[in-house]
Amino acid sequence: MFGNFIYFIIVLLIYSTYQPAEDTNFTAIETLFFFIGLIVIFAWVTWIQFHKIEKRLSRESSPQLGHKFSSTLTRQSVMAILLFAINIYGLNLSSFLIDIHFLSMIPTFQALLFLGLFIFYLAIVWACAYGPYKMLSTSDISRESYILSQISFSVPILLPWLLLSGVADIINALPFEQPKHFLSTTQGQIVYFLVFLIAIAIAGPLVIQKFWRCKPLEKGYYRKRIENLCRKAGMEYADILYWPIFGGRMITAGVMGLVKKFRYILVTSDLLRFLEPEEVDAVIAHEIGHIKKKHLLFYLVFFVGYMLISFATFDLLIYFIIFTEPIYRFISTTGLDQTAVTSSIFSLVIIIFFLIYFRFIFGYFMRNFERQADTYVYALFDNAKPLISTFEKIAATSGEPYDKPNWHHFSIKNRIEHLKKCETDKIWITRHDNKIKKSIAVYMMGILLIGGIGYNLNFGEAGKKLNKHFFEKIIQREIDRTPDNPNLYSTLGDLYYSDKNYPKTIKAYEQSLMLEPDNPHILNNLAWLHATCEVQKFRDPKKALYLAEKATKLDKSPYILDTLAESFYANGRFEEAVEAEIRALDLVVKNRRYYEKQLRKFMEAARGGDLSLLLDTDLPDLQQITVSAENLFNTILFKGSHAVF
């Protein structure tokens, strides 16, 4: 069942990383035909697979059939993910919904629509799997209850995403700029994610138990027994609840909640029906062990660790993969929409990274935490024989193979063997506790190291240089593909200018002008460089003025007039600089303080530094100002408003 959590997260990644293509691969009618046809084929193949198992179970009973059922269930669930990916990337289903205003305003609703489609695919799998499941588990649960239990158990994993995405959509839809700006920054996204993650981790169990329709365990023998055991262990909780998963027809229990106010102990009716009181105690002791060993808190840390690793490495990893020569050639030669191909590769990289982290790192800790919770029984009782007998009953009634491990639990056989070793020598308990402590220490050191690297890559000089290198490589490759595109040379020139590589800046701008001589923005940028360059040998006031005058004839925007004024100033023609800057100031709406500072500089030069003569000049809203370089840089990539890409 825990595998369903992974499936839903993978589907979310597939959907959220897809960039809708401008042109769909098929027409609407063709897409509908393929969509329905694929569903029919998927349902038919899934039914055939499980029907074969059901027929064999009617003739024979063997552990191999339990393995066969589990592997088929996993395989068809993976096929459901593949079908969903085909819907998104092959049929471009989301592209057909772009023009629906309501869905574009609140993207979370569209995402829920597609998640509903994936739940439908899984429901097909579960409906077909019901027959062999019932025969293997000897359960009397109905098909409807089986499917609804699978859905209700899995859907809560979507709660954090739903709240995160939904609230973000609401913030972006409201007419308030400050929250939008905060969410658009890396720091804002991290803070937003952490606040929600912690809030959901604390209060989420309250919502989940309501969603599962859990009912309080009635007063009586078992409730009193569980209460006494929790009191003995010193564990506080909000309530003890019936867990109606699969109609309560499973021998299982659970605990959720980081804080006592929202902590719930969950038990199924079959657990109380089929287990002896001592066995119930052992199962509850196992769940108490999760709390006492702080496993739930560490799970939260592991999710934060995933976010940190993603933040630190995703950009670097994706840049490396996308812009290696073989993959770039593949993208260029497929003949498919390049946005869709690139988006597909992004999704694949992210999904692989996610699977590696949760399957091998998170899964490692989950398995060992379960074993540690098993051995916590010895903190409350003299032996673990009731827990061992419980495992044997679960193996006999669940239909799960006795020796089958999975990514989050050791096999029942393995867990029993470990408990038997602990029965012989308690040193195995200490060894396992020490193993977990060392593993956590290694994990935390790794996270801190990766976090430091990630911070340097995203905010340090090394990261800036690396980003510029990749951007330069991207632009150069696009130039190789479309050498007659002047905008590419202009963008390349902007990149070189930001890195203060003036020879390459001039060359890139001049190549752009060769292709488009009357582009006022490129003329403006090159004029500004020749008028103001900090390296004297690249200053050329006459050329700057020539380029600026030509740009002004084509476009009289404030920033272009400011460049003209600066060019006059560089040539010693101060009065004309003042005149041009006044014209710019008349037109400007934003960043007036910068233009006023420029005007003051030119008038000081024109008046020989005598500021008292400014009082005779009709200036619009002239005021004392100071403009920091940081504010100017935030306005554009370089030189106030002069960079236009």
What CATH number is associated with residue 536? 1.25.40
**Token pair recorded at residue 606:** 């024109």
Is 146 inside a domain boundary?
A: no
Residue 200 pLDDT level (bands cut at 50, 70, 90): confident
Q: Is 161 helix (H, G, I), strand (E, B) or coil?
A: helix
Strand 239-242, strand 215-216: pairing: antiparallel
* Ranges of H-type helices in 363-460: 363-375, 377-380, 385-398, 412-424, 427-459
Contact 634, 640 (CB under 8 A): no
DSSP 30: H
Residue 177 pLDDT level (bands cut at 50, 70, 90): confident
Is 307 inside a domain boundary?
A: no
- The mean predicted confidence, pLDDT, of the chain is 83
Sign of the four-CA dihedral 100, 103, 109, 112: positive
pLDDT at 471: 77
Mean pLDDT of 81-90: 91
Buried residues in 360-394 as b, exposed as e (16+ CB within 10 A):
ebbbebbbbbbbbbbbbbbebbeebbbbbbbbebb
Residue 435 pLDDT level (bands cut at 50, 70, 90): very high
Helix-helix angle 574-587:592-606, to 10 degrees: 160
pLDDT at 62: 67
Is 568 inside a domain boundary?
A: yes
Is 166 inside a domain boundary?
A: no
Is 624 inside a domain boundary?
A: yes
**Token pair recorded at residue 554:** 């084509």
Amino acid identity at 189: Q
Q: Rounded to whole angstroms, how far apart are CA atoms 645 and 633?
A: 15
Distance (Å) of CA 536 to CA 130, 145, 498, 509, 529:
80, 80, 17, 19, 11
Of 153-157, 221-225, 245-249, 474-478, where does the model show the most confidence?
221-225
Is 641 inside a domain boundary?
A: yes
Mean pLDDT of 614-628: 35
Q: Which domain holds residue 602?
A: 527-645
Is 479 inside a domain boundary?
A: no
CA diameter of the chain: 107
pLDDT at 338: 58
Mean pLDDT of 4-19: 84
Residue 28 pLDDT level (bands cut at 50, 70, 90): confident
Q: Rounded to whole angstroms, how far apart are CA atoms 147 and 142?
A: 9
Number of Cα atoms under 13 Å in the Cβ half of residue 56: 16
Question: What's the number of domains the chain is made of?
Answer: 1
Residue 640 pLDDT level (bands cut at 50, 70, 90): very low
Give tens-digit pLDDT for 312-334.
776 666 666 656 556 656 655 65
Is 212 inside a domain boundary?
A: no
pLDDT at 498: 85
End-to-end C-alpha distance for the chain, whole angstroms: 51
Mean pLDDT of 141-152: 86
pLDDT at 533: 92
Q: Rounded to whole angstroms, how far apart are CA atoms 185 and 630?
A: 17
